Amino acid sequence: MSTPSRIAGDFLSLLESRQMASLNLPRELPSQTEATTVFAFRFADGVLVAGDRRATAGNIIVTDSVEKIIEIDSTAVLAIAGVPAMAFEMARVLQTSFEYYRRSQLQPLSLAAKVRALAKLLRDNLSMTLQGVGIVAPIFAGLDPTRPDEAAKIYFYDPLGAQFQHLEFAASGSGSSTVKSVLTHQLRFGSPKPAELDRKAAVALALELLATASSLDSATGGVDPQRGLFADIRVLAVDGIVRIGEDEQSNAFKGGKR
């Protein structure tokens, strides 16, 4: 019996191995739209989830007005990094399934079940991830409606569906290394710590993180209230989800000084 030949790990090579090269498929796929930097961190009143508004396609800026922080229900927030087409569809599936469960079972889904539901969607997207055309690496923050005494929790996912709970913060996307570096420094050496900040100071920190990331990463959109450049920010607290508007961001930023 002949030994199967080794095939390079991409979709086009697989087609060629099956003698389908005559289809004249391009060796390079067109640049796909990607959402860039998102993060979440714990502060005194809950969890803040934020992202820049930039989406890119290769070296092209597609838009600076995309919303990457999506409210799944009244106790859960999804922050998307990766391909928006896939991420937005995942968000719609989660919104529909969580609401269906709530109405059909007359009770909300637990946080653990919500976390696993997102993991399953990412695993179901495996074929697109392996092709490199549908990668999503989201952050999920939520309260457990079945345990109202517990604080909000932060989860990070890899593109294959593995989830990791982070006690203090998580970040994803092209500017995530900068965000994680600054938050790690603040957590270890800063005063006050991120978890000790009030809402205004937490919003200011989020804007400063995005401004810093954008100065080192061209795919991360900037933050400058004077030029009308704002972030997409949600605060998840015991009393629900609050969207941080442009006026509150301007007042908190104050030229980048807390």
pLDDT at site 147: 86
Measuring CA to CA, which residue among 131, 199, 129 is closest to residue 160?
A: 129
Q: Is the pLDDT of residue 25 over 50?
A: no
Backbone angles phi, psi at 139, to 5 degrees: -120, 140
pLDDT at site 11: 52
Compute, in degrees rounded to 10, the torsion defined by CA atoms 220, 204, 155, 36: -10
| 153 contacts 111 by C-beta, under 8 angstroms | yes
Confidence band of 26 (pLDDT split at 50, 70, 90): very low
| 216 contacts 179 by C-beta, under 8 angstroms | no
pLDDT at site 122: 95
Q: How far is CA 60 from CA 1, 31, 194, 229, in A?
A: 50, 9, 34, 18
First to last CA, the chain: 71
- Mean pLDDT rounded to a whole number for the chain: 86
CATH label, 29-256, candidates 3.60.20.10, 1.10.287.110, 3.30.365.10, 3.90.1150.10: 3.60.20.10
DSSP 8-state assignment for residue 106: S
Confidence band of 255 (pLDDT split at 50, 70, 90): very low
The C-alpha angle 51, 30, 63, rounded to 5 degrees, equals 30
The C-alpha angle 59, 216, 46, rounded to 5 degrees, equals 110
Confidence band of 225 (pLDDT split at 50, 70, 90): confident
Q: Is the pLDDT of residue 55 over 90?
A: no
Active site residues: 36
Confidence band of 65 (pLDDT split at 50, 70, 90): confident
* Predicted TM-score (pTM) of this structure: 0.85
Confidence band of 239 (pLDDT split at 50, 70, 90): confident
Q: What is the pLDDT of residues 105-149, one digit of tens each?
A: 999 999 999 999 999 999 999 888 887 778 899 999 999 988 888
| 178 contacts 212 by C-beta, under 8 angstroms | yes
